[in-house]
Structure 1
Amino acid sequence: MRRTNTVHTLLRRVTRGNGFYIGEIFHAAARRTPATPVTLDRPLQWAPDRGTEFTVGQLAAQIDDLAARLWAAGVRPAERVALYKTDNFDIALLACAAGRIGAVPALLSPALDGAVAGALLTRLDRPWLLTDADTLTGALREVPLAGVVRGTLLSAGRAPAGAPDTVLLADHAGAPRRDPVFLHPHQPSLITHSSGTTGIPKLAVHCPETGWHRLVPQQIVAWPIRERETAALCMTFVHSRFYQGLAMFLGHGNPLVIAVDPDPARIGPLFTRTRPGYIETHPNTYVDWEELDAAPGAPLSSVRVFGATFDAMHPRTIQRMLGASRRKRPLFVQFYGQSEIGPMAGRWYTRRTAHRSDARCVGLPLPGFISMRVVDDAGRRVATGRTGHLEVRSRTRILTYLGEDDRFRSQLHDGWWRVGDMGYLDRWGLLHLMDREVDRIETMDSNLAVEDLLMGRLDELREVVIVAGPDGEPVPVVATRSEEPLDPARWRMATEDLPPMAPYRQFPFEGLPRTSTRKIQRPELARIVRESPPRPVATGREPGTVTGA
Structure 2
Amino acid sequence: MIPFGKRIELGTLFDDLADRRGSTTVHVSRPLDIAPGLGTALDPPALARLVRAASGWLAAAGAGRGDRIAIAKRDHWDTVLLCCAAARIGAVPAPLSAHLDAGTLDTLLGRLGPALLVTDSARLAASWTAGGAPESRAARTLLLDGDSATALTLDDVRGAPVPAPYRPPVDHPLAIMHTSGTTGVPKLVTHTTRTLLRRLAGFEAHRWPLLSARPDDVLAGSFSFVHGRALAWTAVALTHGPREILAIPSSDWAEAGPLLDRHRPTVVEAQPATFVRWRSRARHDDHPFDRVRLFISTFDAVHPPTVRTFLRATRHPRPVWLQGWGQSETGPLTFRFLTRRALAAERERHPTTRDLGRPVPGRTRLRVLDRVTLRPVPRGAPGLVVCATKAIADGYVGERSRFERKRAGRWFMTGDIGVRTRDGRLLLLDREADAVPEGSGAELEDVLEDRLPDVAECVVLSVPGGPSLPVVVTDADLDPDAWREATADLPELAAPIAVKWDGVPRTGTGKVRRGALRERLGLAPDTYGTGRWT
Give your verdict on TM over 0.5: yes
Q: Does 1:172 align with 2:167?
A: no
In structure 2, the residue matched to 1:345 is: 334
Within 2, Cα distance between the matches of 1:224 and 1:121? 37
- 1:137 is matched with which residue: 117, 125, 132? 125
Partner Cα separation in structure 1 for residue 360 and residue 269 of structure 2: 20
Corresponding residue for residue 307 of structure 2: 318
Matches within 5 A, 1:414-425: 414-425=409-420
1:473 aligns with 2:467: yes
* C-alpha contact (below 8 Å) 2:223/2:250 kept by paired residues: no
Q: Who is 1:158 aligned against?
A: 147
Q: Does 1:190 align with 2:175?
A: yes
Choose the corresponding residue for 2:280, options 277, 286, 291: 291
Partner of 1:386: 381
Distance 2:99 2:285 in 1: 31
**CA contact under 8 A between 1:28 and 1:251: conserved in structure 2?**
no
Q: Does the CA-based 8 Å contact 1:83-1:105 persist in structure 2?
A: yes
Change (3 A) 1:268 1:244: same
Q: Which amino acid aligns with 2:340?
A: R
Distance change (3 Å), C-alpha of 1:135 and 1:305: same
Question: Do the aligned partners of 2:63 and 2:115 also contact (CA within 8 Å) in 1?
Answer: no
Contact 1:86 1:135 (C-alpha < 8 Å) held by counterparts = yes
Give distance in 2, aligned partners of 1:139 and 1:146. Answer: 10
Following superposition, the deviation at residue 146 of structure 1 comes to 6.2
Deviation for aligned residue 1:32: 2.2
Q: How much has 1:421 moved relative to structure 2? A: 0.2
Contact 2:141 2:152 in 1 (8 A): yes
Q: Indicate how the Cα distance of structure 1 residues 454 and 237 shifts in structure 2: closer, same or farther if over 3 A, else same.
A: same
Question: What is the CA RMSD across the aligned residues, in angstroms?
Answer: 2.0
Residue 448 (str. 1) matches residue 442 (str. 2): yes
Unaligned runs of 5+ in 1: 1-14, 533-549
Alignment-mate amino acid for residue 144 of structure 1 = A
What CA deviation, in whole Å up to 9, does each residue of 1:228-257 have, x standing for no partner? 201011110111011111111100001201
Q: Is the 8 A contact 1:20 1:209 kept in 2?
A: no
1:512 paired with 2:504, answer yes
Counterpart code for 2:201: L
**2:101 corresponds to which residue?**
113
1:546 maps to which residue?
none
Match of 1:547 in 2: none
Shift of 1:147: 5.1
Say which SS state the counterpart of residue 352 (structure 1) adopts: coil
Instruction: Give the alignment of 1:406-445 within 5 angstroms.
Output: 406-442=401-437, 444-445=438-439
Is 1:521 matched up with 2:513? yes
Q: Quote the offset at 1:144 in angstroms.
A: 3.1
**Is 1:215 matched with 2:207?**
no
Contact 1:34 1:56 in 2 (8 A): no
Match of 1:530 among 494, 500, 522: 522
Structure 1 residue aligned with 2:495 = 503
- Give the superposition deviation at 1:466: 0.5
Match of 2:237 in 1: 249
Q: Deviations over 1:414-460 (max 9, x none)?
A: 32101000001112211111100011122x11000010001110110
Give the Cα–Cα distance (whole angstroms) in 1 for the partners of residues 126 and 427 of structure 2. Answer: 43
Secondary structure at the residue paired with 2:511?
coil
Q: Counterpart amino acid of 2:404?
A: R
Aligned counterpart, 1:538: none
Partners of 2:170 and 2:6 in 1: how far apart? 7
- Please give the secondary structure, in 1, of the residue aligned with 2:11: helix
Sort the Cα spacing of 1:243 and 1:494 in 2 relative to 1 into closer, same or farther, 3 A: same
Q: Deviations over 1:37-62 (max 9, x none)?
A: 11111011222222111112211111
Other-structure match for 1:53: 41
Question: Residue 206 of structure 1 contacts residue 398 of structure 1 at CA under 8 Å; is this kept in 2?
Answer: yes
Q: Is the 8 A contact 1:420 1:436 kept in 2?
A: yes
- Residue by residue, what CA displacement relative to the aligned partner does 1:312-344 show, whole Å, maximum 9, x if unpaired? 321111111111111121111111011111110
Aligned residues: 511
Alpha-carbon distance, 1:495 to partner = 0.4
Q: Deviations over 1:257-281 (max 9, x none)?
A: 1112212344333212111111111
Aligned to 2:321: 332
**How far did residue 413 of structure 1 move?**
1.9
Unpaired segments ≥5 residues, structure 2? 346-350, 525-534
Q: AA paired with 2:115?
A: P
The letter of the residue matching 2:352 is D
- In the alignment, the residues of structure 1 paired with residue 393 and residue 23 of structure 2 have an alpha-carbon distance, to the nearest angstrom, of 34
Distance 1:194 1:223 in 2: 26
2: distance between equivalents of 1:89 and 1:126? Answer: 22
* Distance across 1 between alignment mates of 2:473 and 2:505: 12
> 1:468-488: CA deviations, max 9, x gaps?
2363530001110x2x32111
Separation in 2, partners of 1:236, 1:297 = 26
Give 1:223 shift. Answer: 5.3
Please tell me whether the aligned partners of residues 335 and 357 of structure 2 are also in contact (alpha carbons under 8 angstroms): yes
**Residues 375 and 470 of structure 1, relative CA distance in 2, 3 Å threshold:** closer
Shift of 1:296: 5.2
SS at match of 1:228: coil
Distance of 1:145 and 1:314 partners within structure 2: 37
Q: 1:146 to 1:331 in 2, by over 3 A?
A: closer
Q: Does structure 2 retain, via aligned residues, the 8 Å contact 1:76–1:101? A: yes
Instruction: State the AA in 2 paired with 1:195.
Output: S
Deviations 1:276-326 (A, max 9, x none): 111111112111211122335331101111011212321111111111111
**Partners of 1:312 and 1:362 within 8 A in 2:** no
The equivalent of 2:393 in structure 1 is 398
Q: Provide the identity percentage.
A: 36
1:239 aligns with 2:234: no
The aligned amino acid for 1:313 is V
Distance 1:146 1:73, change over 3 A: closer
Give distance in 2, aligned partners of 1:102 and 1:519.
33
Q: What is aligned with 2:188?
A: 203
Q: Is the partner of 1:118 in helix, strand or coil? A: helix
CA distance in 1, matches of 2:8, 2:365: 22
| Inter-partner Cα distance in structure 2 for 1:293 and 1:148 | 44
1:373 to 367, 372, 396: 367
1:329 and 1:368 map into 2 onto residues whose CA distance is 27
The answer for the alignment partner of 2:531 in structure 1 is: none
Q: Report the more deviating stretch, 238-247 or 465-474.
A: 465-474
* Length-normalised TM-score, structure 1: 0.89
Are positions 1:85 and 2:73 aligned together? Answer: yes
Distance 1:368 1:470, change over 3 A: closer
Contact 2:213 2:237 in 1 (8 A): no
